[in-house]
Structure 1
């Protein structure tokens, strides 16, 4: 919105000041001040800045290789996307104009959970945006990317299948440092425990919880833990039979069972120490 037009269309809100009401010689000063005040009153807080929210529904490719550390974000109105490719400058994808702009790092605040782009007008044109069969193509002589919709897992999935779609889980698992005492206890579990992990490739909390869980299972190295992954759709409606059988209504949900009976669960939480949560459940049983 152009604020000059907005003010022009609001005559009833402009104070009527006649020359007779002002001391001689003050009109040229006061009227501009009134206009400035109106602009400040009606200018939105944080104008020119935009918050972006993570979009986990795409895989980012360079050539035919997934970039595990790439991150994609949506604007609040879904009219633009922000791509952090891992290497190289961030890119702003304007969906309406089908244009891509290179963003100066100083215009992007990554200190919080959600990035904030402080200036939407400083970007340098990078290339045109091409959409084809659901994928988004960024083709430039400098660097090119393909954003393809992430297939959803429904039902049982192996660890290899999970990591094929979410390779960042493996990278994040390497960085997770589990509690040594909890790992020692998990190593000593001497009876079979079935662990059902309900997750979504689209799920933000799963992104935080699953890498730590994978590292814990690897460090424990206990053959008595039988882990099975269950892919869930975004509405947590499918696979209906499995969701109903285990009373799952949110993700992530990690269920521990002994002899077919549930002994505890961790659900919809990015717990800081998943190994301690597992130990707490096992100790109670």
Structure 2
């Protein structure tokens, strides 16, 4: 009996601390948003799938550039901060995901965080993943190596996503938009 009780307590603790993915909220004016940690299923669900799938399917990554960074990209963990309400996020995020897939990037090393749009919650997430990350524009794509930030792409690439990723993973002189 004691084992059963201990097991139940442990399961409750694990369940309470587990991250909820694809949390959806509706604003006062009826706009649906994803907030907090999300995954590809969330982006592919409706109404987000309307913009995500179309842009994802119509984008063709530059295979020559992808082949340049393909081997090195797996050395990085990546955090993608976006807004499902943001035009720049809607434009860049599907392309970025398609590039990662073309590079055979281990998707478990990608963390996607959707930020809020509402007044008083602007560019925040319910569990605070953005805190201390200096997120001023979305999308912001942050590349980490050995737990340390190496560089980021902010709002849009300087050249193309593929060229900017190449610059970052080969640790060239790359200064993102809105450098801090």
TM-score, reference length from structure 2: 0.68
Aligned partner of 1:249 in structure 2 is 136
The C-alpha deviation readout for 1:143-190, integer Å capped at 9, x for no partner, is xxxxxx343222111111122142121221121122122110232127
Aligned partner of 2:114 in structure 1 is 231
Does the CA-based 8 Å contact 1:183-1:220 persist in structure 2?
yes
The C-alpha deviation readout for 1:218-277, integer Å capped at 9, x for no partner, is 111132871111010112134473222322122110000011100110112266621211
What is the root-mean-square deviation in Å for CA atoms of aligned residues? 2.5
Pairs aligned (count):
140
Aligned partner of 2:37 in structure 1 is 156
Give the distance between the partners of 1:248 and 1:237, measured in 2 at CA.
9
Give the distance between the partners of 1:179 and 1:204, measured in 2 at CA.
23
Aligned partner of 1:169 in structure 2 is 52
The C-alpha deviation readout for 1:169-214, integer Å capped at 9, x for no partner, is 1221121122122110232127531110100110011111112111
Give the distance between the partners of 1:240 and 1:225, measured in 2 at CA.
19
Does the CA-based 8 Å contact 1:178-1:273 persist in structure 2?
no
Larger radius of gyration: 1
Where does structure 1 lack aligned partners over 5 or more consecutive residues?
1-133, 136-148
Does the CA-based 8 Å contact 1:209-1:271 persist in structure 2?
no
Which structure carries more relative contact order (alpha carbon 8 Å, separation 6+)?
2
Where does structure 2 lack aligned partners over 5 or more consecutive residues?
1-27, 173-180
TM-score, reference length from structure 1: 0.44
Moved more, 150-159 or 258-267: 150-159
Shift of the 262–230 alpha-carbon distance from structure 1 to 2, 3 Å rule, reads same
